[in-house]
Structure 1
Amino acid sequence: MIKIEHLALKDIANTYYKAIIPKINTRIEFVEIALDYFTQKINFQEVIDSPVNGNTKNSILSFFLTLKIKRASDHNLAIPANVEPWITANPQKLYDILAFLKDEGNLKELILVEPLEAYDKDLALQAYFNINKQDDDLTIFKFLNIILDYDLFGAFSYDISTKLGLNACPYCNRVYINTVMKEGGQQIIRPTYDHFFSQSKHPFLPLNFYNLIPSCYYCNCTLKNATTIMHDTHLHPYLDGFGSDALFRIVISDLYPNISDSRNYKVVLQDAMSNFNPKRRKIFGSASTEGNNNLFKIEDVYNAHTDIVGELVHKADVYSRGQANSLKKLFGTLSTNKSEFYQFYFGNYYHEHDYNKRPMAKLTKDVLGQVIPEFFK
Structure 2
Amino acid sequence: MIKINDAGHANIKKEHLSYFKKQGLDLLRKYAGQKYKHPFEKKVMEYLRDNYEKVLIGNPEVLADTIITINKLTSGHPFSKTTNRKLQAVFDYDIFSNRSPGVKGTNWGGYLLVKNLGVGTCPYCNRQYITTIRNRVRRKKGTRKSLWEGQTRGTLDHFYDKKRYPYLAISLYNLIPSCKVCNSDFKGRQEMTMTDFIHPYKEEFGSEVRFTIVPNGGTAGQPYDVTFLLGNNTEEFHIDFRYLSPDPDFTRRAKQNIELFKIKELYNFHKEEVRELLQKSQHYTSDYIDTILSQSGTLFNSREEVVRFVIGNFAHGANHDRRTLSKFTSDIADELGLLKYLDTR
- Tell me the TM-score normalised to structure 2 length: 0.79
Residue equivalent to 1:150:
93
Q: Aligned-pair distance for 1:347?
A: 2.1
Residue equivalent to 2:326:
361
Output the amino acid matched with 2:3: K
In the alignment, structure 1 residue 283 sits paired with structure 2 residue 254: yes
1:36-115 → structure 2 map (5 Å cutoff):
89-90=37-38, 95-103=42-50, 106-115=51-60
In the alignment, structure 1 residue 177 sits paired with structure 2 residue 130: yes
Whether contact under 8 Å (2:290, 2:303) holds in the other structure is no
For structure 1, the 5+ residue unaligned runs are 40-86, 285-290
CA distance in 1 between partners of 2:332 and 2:152 (Å): 31
Task: Indicate how the Cα distance of structure 1 residues 203 and 194 shifts in structure 2: closer, same or farther if over 3 A, else same.
Answer: same
Q: State the SS of the aligned residue for 1:316.
A: helix
Whether contact under 8 Å (1:312, 1:346) holds in the other structure is yes
Residue equivalent to 1:197:
160
Task: Indicate how the Cα distance of structure 1 residues 114 and 28 shifts in structure 2: closer, same or farther if over 3 A, else same.
Answer: same
How large is the RMSD of aligned CA atoms in angstroms? 3.0
Residue equivalent to 1:226:
189
Residue equivalent to 1:4:
4
Residue equivalent to 1:250:
213
CA distance in 2 between partners of 1:343 and 1:182 (Å): 33
Whether contact under 8 Å (1:168, 1:357) holds in the other structure is yes
Task: Indicate how the Cα distance of structure 1 residues 102 and 232 shifts in structure 2: closer, same or farther if over 3 A, else same.
Answer: closer
Q: Aligned-pair distance for 1:333?
A: 6.1
Task: Indicate how the Cα distance of structure 1 residues 367 and 208 shifts in structure 2: closer, same or farther if over 3 A, else same.
Answer: same
Q: State the SS of the aligned residue for 1:266.
A: strand
Query: Out of 104, 107, 115, which is 1:162 matched to?
Result: 115
Output the amino acid matched with 2:15: T
Q: Aligned-pair distance for 1:241?
A: 0.5
Q: State the SS of the aligned residue for 2:269.
A: helix
Whether contact under 8 Å (1:192, 1:216) holds in the other structure is yes
1:303-342 → structure 2 map (5 Å cutoff):
303-320=268-285, 323-327=288-292, 329-330=294-295, 334-342=299-307
Whether contact under 8 Å (1:122, 1:204) holds in the other structure is no
Paired-residue identity, % = 26
Residue equivalent to 2:102:
none
Task: Indicate how the Cα distance of structure 1 residues 17 and 95 shifts in structure 2: closer, same or farther if over 3 A, else same.
Answer: same
Residue equivalent to 2:77:
132
Q: Which moved more, 1:315-324 or 1:225-234?
A: 315-324
Q: State the SS of the aligned residue for 1:193.
A: strand
Query: Out of 274, 295, 300, which is 2:260 matched to?
Result: 295
CA distance in 2 between partners of 1:355 and 1:329 (Å): 27
CA distance in 2 between partners of 1:261 and 1:324 (Å): 28
- The one-character-per-residue Cα deviations of 1:105-158 (angstroms, maximum 9, x if unpaired) are x1111101210121221231232245512xx64653343222212113212111
- The one-character-per-residue Cα deviations of 1:162-189 (angstroms, maximum 9, x if unpaired) are 1121221001111112112235694611
For structure 2, the 5+ residue unaligned runs are 100-108, 138-146, 218-226
Task: Indicate how the Cα distance of structure 1 residues 304 and 179 shifts in structure 2: closer, same or farther if over 3 A, else same.
Answer: same
CA distance in 1 between partners of 2:2 and 2:174 (Å): 16
Q: Aligned-pair distance for 1:209?
A: 0.3
Output the amino acid matched with 1:153: F
CA distance in 2 between partners of 1:157 and 1:145 (Å): 17
- The one-character-per-residue Cα deviations of 1:57-112 (angstroms, maximum 9, x if unpaired) are xxxxxxxxxxxxxxxxxxxxxxxxxxxxxx7x44x555554444444xx1111101
Residue equivalent to 2:240:
268
Whether contact under 8 Å (2:229, 2:237) holds in the other structure is no
CA distance in 2 between partners of 1:13 and 1:308 (Å): 39
Output the amino acid matched with 1:11: N
- Tell me the TM-score normalised to structure 1 length: 0.73
Q: Aligned-pair distance for 1:360?
A: 0.2
Larger Rg: 1
Query: Out of 104, 115, 121, which is 2:66 matched to?
Result: 121
Whether contact under 8 Å (2:44, 2:73) holds in the other structure is no
CA distance in 2 between partners of 1:145 and 1:230 (Å): 21
Whether contact under 8 Å (1:265, 1:310) holds in the other structure is no
Q: Aligned-pair distance for 1:13?
A: 2.1
CA distance in 2 between partners of 1:272 and 1:124 (Å): 35
Residue equivalent to 2:308:
343
Whether contact under 8 Å (2:16, 2:57) holds in the other structure is no
Whether contact under 8 Å (1:265, 1:309) holds in the other structure is no
Q: Which has the higher helix share?
A: 1
What is the count of residue pairs matched by the alignment? Answer: 313
Residue equivalent to 2:198:
235
Output the amino acid matched with 1:140: T
Task: Indicate how the Cα distance of structure 1 residues 153 and 338 shifts in structure 2: closer, same or farther if over 3 A, else same.
Answer: farther
Whether contact under 8 Å (1:249, 1:370) holds in the other structure is yes
